[in-house]
């Protein structure tokens, strides 16, 4: 039996894959709920991201303390772990979520999710620089597809005509770059600490660092009970606590590169939900761009490695 199928049939791999796919579904619902809150409700990205991070951090850390006690503070014993935890929380969680929400506010859930999937370009570039190894032809081809996809979504194929606002493009690409940090920075931490502890402290760090910039107290909405409940239940519980936890469990079991492949269903689900539930429409050029970006993880998976020589200590593969 091929090694790949043995991996898939392995219970740890199978459970990790199930966790990844479930996190994608949860994130898709959270994206559509956010689009509804921004466009039909009275909630801003600044307020929602602060609320989401604070509530998620408190709930996760309280749960961790009940489960593990003072062991949750062991992550602060080494300066190296603190650095990567800070990097993961501030850029990988807080900036990623805020940029993603801003992109949704300027476009829609489907478009924002697809733009975020240009992340492999930044991941490949980061590993190439840090490992000092050139990407393989397959990895470079994946980058070309991602860039062409963003171009089609942004311009419809005409470089003189932006069909997507500059703000949406900017925040979408910032979110994609932050996904790289989110994927790569916690891999070493997860080998020594539980998923919940890393996620809880990372979320708290992210909240504390982003609050002075987003100033949520200037964006307190006139609450509608339904909109507020939707924002809390879907975005905080489903879209943060459950989805991030499931993703990190899947990341540990499946590996960073394959996680990107399996996550490709997320923009597809978000696009369908946005169209069905909120009436978002997409033209042929946008759908072409979507398809190009969605092909990126498949192109990467067609090759044994995204690099000519595998970089050490950056990505754990199984």
The token pair at 272 is 């369908």
Assess if residue 20 is contained within a domain: no
**Owning domain of residue 229:** 29-302
In a domain, 15, yes or no: no
- Residues 40-79 have pLDDT tens digits of 777 889 998 998 899 889 999 999 999 999 999 999 999 9
The DSSP line for 3-28 is: HHHHHHHSHHHHHHHHHHHHHHHHHH
pLDDT tier at 170, thresholds 50, 70, 90: very high
> Considering only 35-39, 53-57, 80-84, 133-137, which range has the smallest mean pLDDT?
133-137
Q: What is the pLDDT of residue 72?
A: 93
What domain count does the chain have?
A: 1
pLDDT of residue 83: 93
What token pair was written down for 244?
């991030």
pLDDT tens track for 7-16: 544 677 778 8
Asked, for residue 297, whether it belongs to a domain, the answer is yes
Are 88 and 189 spatial neighbours (Cβ–Cβ below 8 Å)? yes
Q: Establish if 7 belongs to a structural domain.
A: no
pTM score: 0.79
| pLDDT for res 315 | 35
How open is the CA angle 33-35-40, to the nearest 5 degrees? 95
Considering the domain boundaries, does residue 310 fall inside one? no
Counting Cβ atoms within 10 Å, is residue 57 exposed (0-12), middle (13-18) or buried (19+)? buried
Q: Encode pLDDT of 188-234 as tens digits.
A: 888 888 888 998 999 999 999 999 999 998 988 776 777 777 767 78
- Is 90 inside a domain boundary? yes
State residue 301 phi and psi, 5-degree precision: -75, -25
φ, ψ for residue 307, nearest 5 deg: -135, 155
Distance CA 81, CA 134 (A): 28
The dihedral region occupied by 313, where left means phi > 0, alpha psi between -120 and 50, and beta the remainder, is left
> Residue 307 falls within a domain, yes or no?
no
User: 93-134, pLDDT tens digit by residue?
Assistant: 999 999 999 999 998 888 888 888 777 777 777 777 877 777
CA distances from 208 to 18, 86, 184, 202 (A): 32, 11, 22, 10
Higher pLDDT, 4 or 64: 64
239: in domain = yes
């Amino acid at each position: 039996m091929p090694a790949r199928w043995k991996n898939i049939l392995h219970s740890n791999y199978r459970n990790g894959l199930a966790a990844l796919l479930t996190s994608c579904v949860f994130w898709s619902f959270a994206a559509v709920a956010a689009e509804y809150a921004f466009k039909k409700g009275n909630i801003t990205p600044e307020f929602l991201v602060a609320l989401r991070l604070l509530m998620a951090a408190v709930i996760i850390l309280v749960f961790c303390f009940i489960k593990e006690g003072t062991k949750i503070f062991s992550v602060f014993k080494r300066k190296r772990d603190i650095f990567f935890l800070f990097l993961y929380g501030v850029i990988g969680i807080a900036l990623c979520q805020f940029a993603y929400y801003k992109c949704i506010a300027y476009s829609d859930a489907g478009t924002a999710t697809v733009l975020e999937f240009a992340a492999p370009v930044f991941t490949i570039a980061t590993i190439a620089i840090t490992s000092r190894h050139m990407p393989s032809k397959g990895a470079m081809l994946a980058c070309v597809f991602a860039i062409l996809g963003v171009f089609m979504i942004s311009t419809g194929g005409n470089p003189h005509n932006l069909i997507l606002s500059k703000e949406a493009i900017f925040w979408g690409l910032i979110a994609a770059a932050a996904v790289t940090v989110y994927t790569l920075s916690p891999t070493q931490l997860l080998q020594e600490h539980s998923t919940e502890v890393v996620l809880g402290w990372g979320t708290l760090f992210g909240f504390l660092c982003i609050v002075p910039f987003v100033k949520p107290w200037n964006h307190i909405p006139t609450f509608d009970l339904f909109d507020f409940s939707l924002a809390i239940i879907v975005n905080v519980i489903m879209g943060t606590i459950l989805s991030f936890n499931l993703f990190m469990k899947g990341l540990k079991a499946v590996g960073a590169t394959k996680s990107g492949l399996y996550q490709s269903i997320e923009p597809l689900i978000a696009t369908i939900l946005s169209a069905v539930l909120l009436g978002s429409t997409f033209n042929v050029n946008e759908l072409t761009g979507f398809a190009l970006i969605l092909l990126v993880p498949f192109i990467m998976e067609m090759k044994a490695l995204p690099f000519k020589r595998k970089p050490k200590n950056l990505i754990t593969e199984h």
